[in-house]
Amino acid sequence: MFRSPATATFAALVLCAVVAPYAGRAQPPAPLSPIGLQGDAKRGAVLAQTCAGCHGIPGSFNANPVYHVPKLGGQNADYIEVALQGYRRGTRGHETMQAQAASLSDQDIADIAAYFAGWPGEAETGRLRASAAEIEAGRTKAATCVACHGPEGVAAAPQWPNLAGQHESYLTAALAQYKDGSRVDLVMNPLMLPLDETSIEELAAFFAAQPHLHDTKQ
């Protein structure tokens, strides 16, 4: 459930605006919501030991396609809950994460989210290779992202992800998945559909260049 009347109203308007591109096609499933359970970070630390092999190693790479494993330190707990539910439901297309999430209960997810969201660290930029010109081009194109993700990539509401400081290669891969439909979201899919590869790369570069998220080093 959305956490405030203003957020709920905005979300409703966004959903109405983006349903049109799916006319005559199978509608994606309804957006997931935060679980709403109190997370236990200490229990989450135990459950998250299986996550450490990737998310606890700064600079770790996903194998195929190749991209830096995303940072989780400083990410919103509500968003981590939504993401893990997506892997559990199968609307996020990553076999390893789907297998990890398949056996998690709602309480497990809330606990893991609390653990990572509470990880201490300093704001960092992500790993990126883009030029200053590409970053500035991404800033201009990010105007449509501001309502949810904030002007610098810090989310306006906790069920949406902070993008600032995330790795450029991960953001590029995630946005491409929204474009090709292998990651399903009623809002993001139609927003990404018209973007070309260059625009996606520029958006990723802009958000990666903004300091916020940090590594969860083991």
CATH for 168: 1.10.760.10
**Cα–Cα distance measured from residue 195 to residue 191, given in angstroms and rounded to the nearest whole number:** 8
Q: Is the pLDDT of residue 8 over 90?
A: no
Omega of the bond prior to 65 within 30 degrees of 0, cis? yes
Of the two residues 83 and 22, the one the predictor is more confident about is 83
Of the two residues 97 and 3, the one the predictor is more confident about is 97
Helix (H) or strand (E) holding 44: helix 41-47
Instruction: Tell whether 146 is covered by a domain.
Output: yes
Check residue 31 and give its pLDDT: 77
Instruction: Tell whether 202 is covered by a domain.
Output: yes
Instruction: Tell whether 177 is covered by a domain.
Output: yes
Give the model's confidence band at 23: pLDDT under 50 very low, under 70 low, under 90 confident, else very high: very low
Q: Tell me, what amino acid is at 108?
A: D
State the residue range of the domain holding 83.
32-208
**Cα–Cα distance measured from residue 190 to residue 23, given in angstroms and rounded to the nearest whole number:** 11
Instruction: Tell whether 52 is covered by a domain.
Output: yes
This prediction has a pTM of: 0.86
**Cα–Cα distance measured from residue 165 to residue 211, given in angstroms and rounded to the nearest whole number:** 5
Instruction: Tell whether 19 is covered by a domain.
Output: no
Instruction: Tell whether 21 is covered by a domain.
Output: no
Average pLDDT of the chain to the nearest whole number = 89
**Cα–Cα distance measured from residue 80 to residue 30, given in angstroms and rounded to the nearest whole number:** 17
Give the model's confidence band at 3: pLDDT under 50 very low, under 70 low, under 90 confident, else very high: very low
Instruction: Tell whether 117 is covered by a domain.
Output: yes
Mean pLDDT across 60-66:
93
Check residue 93 and give its pLDDT: 87
Check residue 44 and give its pLDDT: 98
Q: By C-alpha distance, which of 37, 51, 161, 48 is closest to 106?
A: 37
Of the two residues 14 and 34, the one the predictor is more confident about is 34
Check residue 26 and give its pLDDT: 56
Give the model's confidence band at 68: pLDDT under 50 very low, under 70 low, under 90 confident, else very high: very high
The number of beta carbons lying within 10 Å of the beta carbon of residue 3 is 14
Q: Is 208 exposed, middle or buried (0-12, 13-18, 19+ CB in 10 A)?
A: buried
Mean pLDDT across 103-111:
98
Number of domains making up the chain? 1
Q: Tell me, what amino acid is at 126?
A: G
Q: Is the pLDDT of residue 59 over 80?
A: yes
Check residue 13 and give its pLDDT: 43
Q: Is the pLDDT of residue 24 over 70?
A: no
Mean pLDDT across 31-46:
94
Instruction: Tell whether 5 is covered by a domain.
Output: no
